Amino acid sequence: MSKFTAFANDVLDAVYDTGASGTLALGPVSARVNYTLPMKVALTTTLCTASAAGTEVAGGSYARQSIAGSMAAASAGSKSSNAAITFSNMPACTWNDVFVADSTGTPKNMTFRGGTNLAKTVNAGDTAMIPSGSLTGTEA
């Protein structure tokens, strides 16, 4: 059974709340999982799978970036970035994938993963950018 589109939009808007802080609790009361906002996007040098994040970029001044204020309202079961997300002073690397996690960064809280269409090679000191509209999450 599929979700109604309105419910899928509500889920996306709740999980990718553009608020700067807070906690989102999901799941049944007996097994609730807390997500600490804001959600942050990370770059990886290996591909993520449905069950695990790839190897996260390390070095330079790389740091996960908040998506607070960078996501448009969900529509038709999809939610996309509405602003560029930048990572400055990168180490030399090729980033192959992205994932979004809550602010605590615990692996169980990986929320959605990207794809190789965003892959880029950067030199030490470069700025990496995920263009507006290129970070998209869907609910089916």
Distance CA 95, CA 65 (A): 15
Residue 5, H or E segment? helix 5-15
Task: Indicate the number of domains in the chain.
Answer: 1
Tell me the whole-structure pTM to 2 decimals.
0.83
From CA 6, how far away is CA 56, in angstroms rounded?
34
Higher pLDDT, 64 or 27: 64
State phi, psi for 7 to the nearest 5 degrees: -70, -45
Convert the pLDDT of each residue in 41-97 to its tens digit: 999 998 888 778 889 999 999 999 998 888 888 898 888 889 999 999 999 999 988
Spatial separation of the C-alpha atoms in residues 60 and 76, rounded to whole Å: 38
Structural tokens at position 49: 């799978």
Question: What is the span of the domain harbouring residue 88?
Answer: 5-138
What pLDDT is stored for residue 80 in this prediction? Answer: 87
